[in-house]
Structure 1
Amino acid sequence: MSAAEISRLARGTLLPGFAGATAPRWLLDELEAGLGGVTLFAINGNVPGTEALAALNARLGKDATPLITIDEEGGDVTRLSGHLAASPYPGNAALGAADDPELTRRVYRSLGAELAEVGVNLNFAPSVDVNTAADNPVIGTRAFGSDPQLVARHAAAAVTGTQEAGVAACAKHFPGHGATVEDSHLGVPVVDADLALLERRELVPFRAAIEAGARAVMTAHLNLPEITGGVPATLSPAVITGLLRERLGYQGVIVTDALDMDGASGAIGIPEAAVRALCAGADLLCLGPREHEASVRAVLAAIEQAVRSGRLPAERLADAAARTGDLKRWLAGHSPAAVDRTAGLDAARRALRLTGGLPSWTGAPLVVELAASGNIAVGPTPWGLAPFAAETVRVQGAATEAGPLLERATGRGLVVVLRDAHRHEGQRALASALLAARPDAVLVEMGLPVWRPEGAVHLATYGAAEANARAAAERLGLVAA
């Protein structure tokens, strides 16, 4: 195989990020030279609006046939608004709470249709992790639930719906990120599970997604000591080739989670992580939001050197190119579906869970939102009931804030909005102080409803998307249904 062919095949494995809402010259040149595609990131300014995004993606595809990828899960992980607005579609936790696979299929088909309209052809969704760790800092409401069979039926529905819209689905994060309390953006989480446990739990929804025809699967930067022996799954032949290819029989495209994450490259650097991932059996390398022209050059050099030294067989690159080519041919043969945003609100309404009876209020209640930091995957997307409430105040969440808030709420109703209160001691302390003085207050949990004070009126939305907020506001009588 010639050096030029090796270079082109190496480029075909890369999905870099880039800065801005227009395609830089270096990126267009790389696409013409065979670059696999790009990953769009709101934090890079790639998503200024739907019209501009459609124009950007049309330019990217003018002289090449790139994969244009994005993390658009709906719910709390949304990119299409550029982090300026919450999603009109609830996330997986709400869909799992509603537990209607046909509704999940409908939501993902509409979400896929919106992606197709702006030129995205590979969506890094759905998350099919089984969230068995309540304190999981990075999955949480991104999962359909904690029961493998429930997650499996919705995984299949989500894959089917997405691909009915002509967009390739990518089931993630293999072999399952739900049983850890660590974030792989910041380190290498450990999942203490042997193969038997994985078969009963983590692998169940991945099998369902594969059977539903998922065109891609994304790996996770996890250490499974019983299987990987300390190596992150993304870099482990035992996981990618042994588990996913051989045991599960998956023949589609395998893409890595972002290689700039510490869980993959913190100890070895991105170029080395790229080589190891390809050796392990990955086909596409998501480099991450900060990895632009210089990183592409460095990764290409590392891959080419690995081939020249015999460490990475050229046939491995050819195999990756063949799978990517199959994916592009599949995309060329599919037509988009129609957008159906009513599906999002329908699902959000059906996901609501009310404990206790709502009080009768005279006039508009005071809505108190307790600040909650998101994780890196979620980003700075706005959330809460403020768009639907007459008066809202957002506080940090500490028991010492109760006095002024109670005074402000004198003579009217009180709604306290939480987000993953089980993970935030300050939220629990302030909510408890407010409830002690105002037992008629209503708690609205917009994360996972793990913490529920006994006797409190509690409304769980299973997510903080715009659809979740509107559905909650309707139930509370803040807006008309």
Structure 2
Amino acid sequence: MTARAVILGCSGRSLLAEEAAFFRDVQPWGFILFKRNIGSPEEVRALTADLRATVGREDAPILIDQEGGRVQRMGPPHWPAYPAGRRYGGLNGSAVTMARLGARLMAHDLASVGINVDCAPVLDVPVAGAHDVIGDRAYGTMPDTVAEIGRAVAEGLMAGGVLPVMKHIPGHGRAGCDSHKGLPVVEASRADLNAHDFRPFRALADLPLAMSAHVVYAELDPSRPATQSRIVIEDVIRGLIGFDGLLMTDDLSMHALDGAFRTRAEAAFAAGIDVALHCNGDMAEMHGVLEGTPALAGVALRRAEAALSRLPSDAGDFDVREARARFEAALSVAA
């Protein structure tokens, strides 16, 4: 069956019969897990297998937000706690090496339970006075530092068989409010955005996947957030930044967006988004999103296939115990 251009969540640690039937019927391209879905490793492994069984695709993408720090869906007691992105930026000479190693360890954790996509690295560059929704999730406050460490995180994930999703393109670092709760409006000039906010994304434009920002850039398109702005997607993300990978929305259930869920999805696809993301597992909302979601076809299908083709068939030998000891020792010395 043809996949639909959507990534969906589910309600708990195991699939409800209603959810399984729904996913078999609508054939989402992929799925996303949150903390509500995370139990023991055995439970997560069973859930990812069951999700893939509903769509009949062994390589169906299953996403998670596993950055470290505040944004870590899998953690103690079953998995280690990882540092926030800012911690890597403070490691000076070993920042890139440890960021890559930390991401490689995360990839091992994720791949071992069937998760093959991580919504990281965060390439947003915070500025003074911005809301702290990004805050210590950022690798630094200078674009080149963010790009360098972000590249290392992406490489570490891919080395472990997990695809990275760079976010939140074209940049959430200036936002004055949390887009989970409201719609940020950024007043910076195009020149300032290009020189600062866009730079990490341009440096990593070869990555396979990116997530859009629910942010209005007033000088670019004063009436629509990037997720629903053809101007931002065509002129900036595809043009100025040069990203030709698969572009997914941030979560369509966030309060930065308004209107019916069908309308939210339709506006995103009309703007040039490839795949819609809906995270909370609410069945009524998912039905609405699906009403505005097309089949995955054309250039979006090409981008999706290209992304999945970059999953390595063999992550190679990796001494997890030695790597984790080395990682923890480096963080301990830095502390």
| Length-normalised TM-score, structure 1 | 0.63
**SS state at 1:39 partner:** strand
- Cα deviation, residue 87, structure 1: 4.8
Shift of 1:246: 2.0
Equivalent residue runs for 1:32-181 within 5 Å:
32-33=24-25, 34-42=27-35, 45-62=36-53, 63-65=56-58, 66-81=60-75, 87-99=80-92, 100-133=95-128, 136-181=131-176
**Residues 134, 140 of structure 1: 8 Å contact kept:** no
Aligned to 1:464: none
Match of 1:22 among 14, 22, 27: 14
2:289 to 299, 303, 308: 299
Q: Equivalents in 2 of 1:202, 1:108: separation in Å?
A: 23
Contact between 1:165 and 1:337, CA under 8 Å: does it hold in 2?
A: no
What residue is the counterpart of 1:216 in the other structure? 209
Distance 1:183 1:41 in 2: 19
**Identity of matched residues, %:** 31
2-structure distance, mates of 1:179, 1:164? 31
Residue segments in structure 2 that go unaligned for 5+ positions in a row: none
Select the structure of larger CA radius of gyration: 1
CA displacement, residues 122-165 of structure 1 (integer Å, 9 cap, x when unaligned): 11111111111355220111001111111111111111111111
What are the superposed Cα offsets for residues 28-78 of structure 1, whole Å, 9 maximum, x if unpaired?
Answer: 344444311111011xx2101222101211222233242101110012211
**Aligned equivalents of 1:196 and 1:130: distance in 2?**
15
C-alpha contact 1:26 1:293 (8 A) present in aligned 2 = no
How far, CA to CA, are the matches of 2:131 and 2:116 in structure 1? Answer: 30
**CA 135–223 in structure 1, closer or farther in 2 if over 3 Å, else same:** closer
The residue that corresponds to 2:324 in the other structure is 341
For 2:330 and 2:268, the matched residues in 1 are separated by 38
* 1:309-334 Cα shifts (integer Å, max 9, x gaps): xxxxx8x8432222212222332635
Residue aligned with 1:272, SS: helix
Q: How much does 1:101 deviate?
A: 0.9
Question: In structure 2, do the counterparts of structure 1 residues 242 and 288 end up closer, same or farther at CA, with 3 Å as the change threshold?
Answer: same
Quick one: structure 1 residues 170 and 52, their matched pair in 2 at CA, closer, same or farther if it must change by over 3 Å? same
Contact preservation (8 Å) 2:6, 2:293: no
* Residue in 1 that maps onto 2:222: 229
Aligned to 1:286, the other structure's residue is in SS state strand
Counterpart of 2:117, as a letter, is L
Query: Is the Cα–Cα contact under 8 Å of residues 82 and 102 in structure 2 kept in the other structure?
Result: yes
Q: Distance in 2 between matches of 1:349 and 1:204?
A: 32
Matched, 1:318 2:294: no
Q: Give runs of aligned pairs for residues 465-480 of structure 1, distance below 5 A.
A: none
Task: Give TM-score scaled by structure 2 length.
Answer: 0.89
Does the CA-based 8 Å contact 1:116-1:336 persist in structure 2?
no
> Residue 119 of structure 1: SS of its match in structure 2?
coil
* CA offsets 1:265-315 (integer angstroms, 9 cap, x no match): xx22322111111121212211121x43322322222336xxxxxxxxx8x
CA distance in 1, matches of 2:190, 2:91: 31
Partner of 2:273: 282
Q: CA 1:336/1:143 → structure 2, altered by over 3 Å: closer, same or farther?
A: farther
| Cα distance in 2 for residues equivalent to 1:127 and 1:60 | 27
* Cα displacement string for residues 409-457 of structure 1 (whole angstroms, at most 9, x for unaligned residues): xxxxxxxxxxxxxxxxxxxxxxxxxxxxxxxxxxxxxxxxxxxxxxxxx
Counterpart in the other structure of 1:365: none
The one-letter code matched in structure 2 to 1:273 is: R
- Aligned residues between the structures: 326
Check the 8 A contact 1:15/1:284 in 2, yes or no: yes
Using the TM superposition, give the Cα deviation of residue 201 of structure 1 relative to its aligned residue in structure 2, in angstroms.
0.7
Note the 1:243-282 alignment, pairs <5 A. Answer: 243-264=236-257, 267-282=258-273
In 1, Cα distance between equivalents of 2:285 and 2:77? 28
Secondary structure, in 3 states, of the residue corresponding to 1:228? coil
Runs of at least 5 residues in structure 1 that lack an aligned partner in the other structure: 305-313, 353-481
The answer as to whether partners of 2:130 and 2:174 remain within 8 angstroms in 1 is: no
Give, in whole Å, the separation in 2 of the partners of 1:26 and 1:335.
35
1:239 counterpart residue number: 232
C-alpha contact (below 8 Å) 2:208/2:306 kept by paired residues: no
What amino acid is aligned across from residue 101 of structure 2 in structure 1?
R
1:331 paired residue number: 311
Structure 1 stretches of 4+ moved >6 Å: 83-86
Is contact 1:41–1:47 with CA below 8 Å preserved after alignment?
Answer: yes
Farther off after superposition, 293-302 or 23-32: 23-32
Structure 2 distance, partners of 1:94, 1:160, is 18
Q: 1:85 to 1:117 in 2, by over 3 A?
A: closer
Q: Out of 291-300 and 141-150, give the one that drifted further.
A: 291-300
Per the alignment, in what secondary structure is the counterpart of residue 115 of structure 1?
A: helix
- Cα distance, 1:182 vs structure 2: 0.7
Per the alignment, do residues 334 and 252 of structure 1 end up closer, same or farther by CA in structure 2, a change over 3 Å counting? farther
Q: Indicate conservation of the 8 Å contact 2:20/2:51, yes or no.
A: yes
User: In the TM superposition, what is the alpha-carbon distance from 1:209 to its structure 2 partner?
Assistant: 2.2
